[in-house]
Structure 1
Amino acid sequence: MTTDRTHLPLVLTRELRDLADTRHQHARAALSGSEVRVGRGAYISRGEWDELGDLDRYRLRLVAFARTRKHSPLFSHQSAAVLHGNPLIGAVPDRIHVTVGSTSGGRSARGVVAHSREVGFEDIVEMDGLRSTSALRTAIDLAATAPRADAVVAADHLVRNGSPRLALLEAWLRAQPMRGHRRAQEVIAFADARAESPLESVSRVSMHTGGVPQPALQVPYSDSAGLIGRVDFAWPALGMVGEADGDAKYLNADLRGGRSAERVVLDEKVGEDRLRALGLRVVRWRWSTAIDPTALAGHLAAAGLPVDHRIGWGDCCA
């Protein structure tokens, strides 16, 4: 559940009007543990803070940062990704990312990364009173600067939710000149709307890096009893299919479609048996394997899939 971060009782010391309520009192309260210092001159009660998850705590930090600055900051990169609700790999960002004009002279400071570049008005949006780069521009910035897996997760999420690749290319053009433009172009080419989860996106990146043959995505299989289902990855010519197993499909009730976790496991077992009856080899892996290209390539090779770094992936990664 996401908290409305704009209506939390955030105390800003610069707005204090009661002479009995001073910044020193709030500083002492933070030292004693009854309050939490969210940012420079911004505090919240310990009880309110403890009720927030990591993402909402980070969002509150963005609110505190914006409300304690003379000019409204433009959040970008990982910070904008959080504001847009993009899926994340690993931990919530530990630093705040803002973009400043290329001639503004802005500098990074402790806990804040200032990216010096120009952003046109068409790539700026406002969400809950906070200025941010648009979803498209955010994906381009991440594609140019973030680790490849993080960048592909963001790009896949965007095209899966209805943004055409052409829109990404147009945002890329508006962002020029920019460092990492070639990396960003490659991520745009690699993006695929058929990736249904961050785990599938990360798996695809690791396959490409690890020399695994290019898979087909979301391939349906049927037998005499009807549709078995769609598999995450398939190598039809090699008689192999792959499934990336995340915890969410067992633990998240919304993804189970009214079934119990035990029922999900049993249904998968039946489906896998039907796939094997078609003569297919079925291989599964989890996050710990997917995130490591060498581990995933070795896992697939052990299941019989040839691994060769000399084999390209066609036009997707040109």
Structure 2
Amino acid sequence: MQRAHLAGALVPVHRGVFMAKDEWEGLDDAGRHLARARAVAPSLAIDTAFSHITAAVSHGWPVVGPLPVRVHVTDEARTATAHRSGLVRHAGPLPALDAIRLDGVPVTAPLPTALALIATTPVHVAAVAVDISVRNGSLRLEDVAAALPSSPARGSARGRLVISALDRLHESVGESFAAIRLVELGAAEVVPQHEFVLADGSTCRLDFWIPELGVVVEFDGRQKYVDPAMTGGADQTDVLWREKLREHRLRSRPDVRAVVRVTWWHLIDLDRFRALFRAHGIRF
């Protein structure tokens, strides 16, 4: 193994644990994090469960930004959180556990996983991850809200921010990301999947409608233009032209002040997102 590592054929995943280089390079960020979790599994105590960001990845939740190198667990025997090479051990007690196991190690259930993310990660990371579980029905929004700490307890304000951005009507990770960014900017009422009836009698469904400002917000992901399920098999040029005509009809409505198209590039940085709206003359 040492010779293979020195020759570049093996990649170290954890102390004393290696993977074939081609297998490692074929994994995405989530796959690599789960590989690290499997690597530490044999060394974990009985009363330990994968939790926090590692549990979120185990549930298949999307995580904005790079995943941590360290694997996160909750250890019932610990009274204080300990950071070690490749591992973060959070103090117990163990919360409710899910039916799934990762290499024999329990994983925290969706609700305690959501609460842990809200408490320990930036609000946009928590909201994007938790929103998908609300969308697919594995978590009820009211249950998450009821479990949050009450004001003025620590974490109550960030919890309210996250909760206000969650909605079962969001249709993509990009929409989940845009929703929490709009909350962070201070948008008062944001209506997802709002439908307008246009002058020709056709309906137009919007990603977001902010009635107080008369602003339409559309998440412009690449899938919209290349995914056959979304394009109906139409040529990319036709899709662009159709989208241009749709926007023209929207702008012709007297109650629409602006149509703001948002990409992932805008969402990554909150100041960049704010600047996009300012370029349209909109200040929250």
TM-score (norm. length: structure 2): 0.84
User: In structure 2, do the counterparts of structure 1 residues 260 and 76 end up closer, same or farther at CA, with 3 Å as the change threshold?
Assistant: farther
Aligned to 2:175: 200
- TM-superposed CA distance for 1:81, in Å, is 0.9
Aligned to 1:36: 11
- TM-superposed CA distance for 1:254, in Å, is 4.8
User: In structure 2, do the counterparts of structure 1 residues 105 and 149 end up closer, same or farther at CA, with 3 Å as the change threshold?
Assistant: closer
Tell whether the 8 Å contact from 2:11 to 2:24 is kept in structure 1 after alignment. Answer: yes
Tell whether the 8 Å contact from 1:220 to 1:230 is kept in structure 2 after alignment. Answer: yes
Aligned to 2:275: 298
| 1:149-169 CA distance string (max 9 Å, x none) | 111112322211122222224
Aligned to 2:122: 147
RMSD: 2.8
Aligned to 1:27: 2
Structure 1 vs Structure 2: percent identity of aligned residues?
A: 34
Q: Give the whole-Å Cα distance in 2 for the aligned partners of 1:57 and 1:253.
A: 30
Q: Give the whole-Å Cα distance in 1 for the aligned partners of 2:47 and 2:126.
A: 26
- Partner-residue secondary structure (3-state), 2:83: coil
Instruction: Please tell me the residue identity of whatever aligns with 1:200.
Output: E
Aligned to 2:247: 272
Tell whether the 8 Å contact from 2:217 to 2:260 is kept in structure 1 after alignment. Answer: yes
| 1:136-161 CA distance string (max 9 Å, x none) | 21111001111011111123222111
2:66 to 84, 91, 112: 91
Q: Which segments of 5 or more consecutive residues in structure 2 lack a partner in the other structure?
A: none
* TM alignment of 1:203-242, pairs within 5 A: 203-242=178-217
- Partner-residue secondary structure (3-state), 2:273: helix
| 1:165 and 2:141 aligned | yes
Q: Give the whole-Å Cα distance in 1 for the aligned partners of 2:36 and 2:235.
A: 37
Give the greater-gyration-radius structure (CA): 1
Q: Give the whole-Å Cα distance in 2 for the aligned partners of 1:171 and 1:219.
A: 29
Instruction: Please tell me the residue identity of whatever aligns with 1:187.
Output: V
TM-score (norm. length: structure 1): 0.76
Tell whether the 8 Å contact from 2:165 to 2:176 is kept in structure 1 after alignment. Answer: no
- TM-superposed CA distance for 1:89, in Å, is 0.8
2:224 to 249, 268, 274: 249
| 1:155-205 CA distance string (max 9 Å, x none) | 3222111222222245547xxxx9635533542344222333333233333
Aligned to 1:285: 262
- Partner-residue secondary structure (3-state), 1:108: strand
Q: Give the whole-Å Cα distance in 2 for the aligned partners of 1:275 and 1:30.
A: 59
- TM-superposed CA distance for 1:117, in Å, is 3.0
Tell whether the 8 Å contact from 2:79 to 2:92 is kept in structure 1 after alignment. Answer: no
- TM-superposed CA distance for 1:77, in Å, is 1.0
* TM alignment of 1:3-14, pairs within 5 A: none
- Partner-residue secondary structure (3-state), 2:208: strand
- TM-superposed CA distance for 1:79, in Å, is 0.8
Q: Give the whole-Å Cα distance in 1 for the aligned partners of 2:26 and 2:185.
A: 42
1:135 to 99, 110, 120: 110
Higher relative contact order (CA 8 A, sep 6+): 1
Q: Give the whole-Å Cα distance in 1 for the aligned partners of 2:22 and 2:184.
A: 45
| 1:242-289 CA distance string (max 9 Å, x none) | 112122333445554544444432321221122123243322122222
Q: Give the whole-Å Cα distance in 2 for the aligned partners of 1:235 and 1:47.
A: 48
- TM-superposed CA distance for 1:222, in Å, is 1.9
Aligned length in residues = 277
Q: Give the whole-Å Cα distance in 1 for the aligned partners of 2:157 and 2:175.
A: 24
| 1:109-160 CA distance string (max 9 Å, x none) | 022112113223x334423544211122111100111101111112322211
* TM alignment of 1:44-63, pairs within 5 A: 44-63=19-38
